[in-house]
Amino acid sequence: MRTIDWVDGAIELVDQTLLPDKCVTLRIETVGELVDAIRRLAVRGAPALGVAGALGVLLADGEPAQVAEQIAALRAARPTAVNLAWGVDQAAAQLPRGREAVLAAALRVRDDDLAACRAMGERGADLLEGDRLRIMTVCNTGGLAAVERGTALGVVQTLHERGRLAEVLALETRPLLQGARLTTWELARMGAPHRLIADSAGPYLLAKGGVDAVLIGADRIAANGDTANKIGSYALALGAERAGVPFIVVAPETTIDPGTPSGDQIDIEDRGADEIVTIRGVRLAPEGTQALNPAFDVTPHDLITAIVTDKRVIRP
Ligand code: MRU
């Protein structure tokens, strides 16, 4: 299944806000619709955002100034995942050469993602030692976060295909529950053994033993290796270090941002109080409760055992 694609002059994408209850494909025909889909996480995950950004340039229309305005809005729809702006830039650079050139560039971003995820899956599975691996992961880094196969969950998929996966422990990933809703859905479709855990159980279960590796994705990797990923990643990195468990980031080269020297300079999206004080429309906290909602955190490079990309393995 493709999470996102270009079909008959529009973007088609799986609406991830409705999973796992319904698998509905949205047809996106304007930049405004795409920006809205990105902001409400109908499409999400760094590689998928890169593809959405590139394909989205094809939806920009009007006078040159209006096109430029739409492209700027698309680039800024979410700030942390560098792939979004990168994907937009890949396609927008071809605008002077005409629509066919933009289309070719955008489809290249899509196709490169398919190849990169396959390569990361192989490289990550080769890196890990052992026959019956128990893997811990956070958020959703599977095909839903890319085009067909994912990054960290792509490694899990390859391990499973090679008969080397004992179990995945998936963090539920409050507040939007990408782990509980999406990762479990993908693992069930793969037929991969898994159990869902509360986010706060992660470090304790690492300390208890029996987890062979923590695999996470990334939204932006700074030049020094500091890595922004879904909130909760840093706690897992601390727990993994204390327990002596390898903590591995799996991300395409396009997630490395040489223009950001270290994690301090990464813009971390705050998604507002509603996602914290309510859950799927049901209020949890008293009326008027204030909240902080950083969607990502930054894991310092010295807590990362290795970064696996589509081209190489990077060590601190
Ligand atoms: O807020 P989200 O769901 O877009 O956050 C996604 C993540 O944090 C992923 O781990 C990251 O984008 C890598 S996806 C292969």
pLDDT digits (tens, 9 = 90+) for 134-186: 999 999 999 999 999 999 999 999 999 999 999 999 999 999 999 999 999 99
Task: Count the domains in the chain.
Answer: 2
Among the listed residues 219, 257, 297, 310, the single catalytic one is: 219
* pLDDT tens, residue by residue, 30-44: 999 999 999 999 999
- Are 278 and 155 within one domain? yes
Q: Is the CB of residue 252 below 6 angstroms from any atom belonging to ligand 1?
A: no
- Are 208 and 261 within one domain? yes
- Are 64 and 104 within one domain? yes
Inform me whether the pLDDT recorded for 99 exceeds 90: yes
The predicted structure's pLDDT at residue 26? 98
Inform me whether the pLDDT recorded for 280 exceeds 90: no
Atom of ligand 1 nearest to the CA of 173: 3
- Are 174 and 189 within one domain? yes
The predicted structure's pLDDT at residue 230? 98
Q: CATH no. for residue 88?
A: 1.20.120.420
- Are 72 and 137 within one domain? no
- Are 21 and 52 within one domain? yes
> Ligand 1 pocket test: which of 140, 148, 182, 266 has the largest number of ligand atoms within 8 Å of its C-beta?
140
- Are 245 and 166 within one domain? yes
For residue 30, give its domain range: 4-115
Question: Region 188-213: what's the mean pLDDT?
Answer: 98
- Are 197 and 309 within one domain? yes
Inform me whether the pLDDT recorded for 109 exceeds 90: yes
Question: Region 111-116: what's the mean pLDDT?
Answer: 98
Last residue of some domain: 115, 130, 157?
Answer: 115
The predicted structure's pLDDT at residue 88? 98
Is 219 in the active site? yes
Q: Is the CB of residue 77 below 6 angstroms from any atom belonging to ligand 1?
A: no
- Are 67 and 180 within one domain? no
Question: Region 211-237: what's the mean pLDDT?
Answer: 98
- Are 100 and 145 within one domain? no
CA of 40 relative to ligand 1 center, distance in Å: 13
Inform me whether the pLDDT recorded for 316 exceeds 90: no
- Are 299 and 240 within one domain? yes
Q: Is the CB of residue 81 below 6 angstroms from any atom belonging to ligand 1?
A: yes
Arithmetic mean of pLDDT over the chain: 98
The predicted structure's pLDDT at residue 125? 98
- Are 111 and 152 within one domain? no
Last residue of some domain: 82, 115, 148?
Answer: 115
* pLDDT tens, residue by residue, 237-275: 999 999 999 999 999 999 999 999 999 999 999 999 999
pTM, entire model: 0.98
What string of H, E and C letters represents the secondary structure of the chain? CCCEEEECCEEEEECCCCCCCCCCEEEECCHHHHHHHHHCCCCCCHHHHHHHHHHHHHHCCCCHHHHHHHHHHHHCCCCCCHHHHHHHHHHHCCHHHCHHHHHHHHHHHHHHHHHHHHHHHHHHHHHCCCCCEEEEECCCCCHHHCCCCCCHHHHHHHHHHCCCEEEEEEECCCCCCHHHHHHHHHHHHHCCCEEEECHHHHHHHHHHCCCCEEEECCCEEECCCCEEEECCHHHHHHHHHHHCCCEEEECCHHHEECCCCCHHHCCCCECCCHHHHEECCEECCCCCCCCCCECEEEECHHHCCEEECCCCEECC
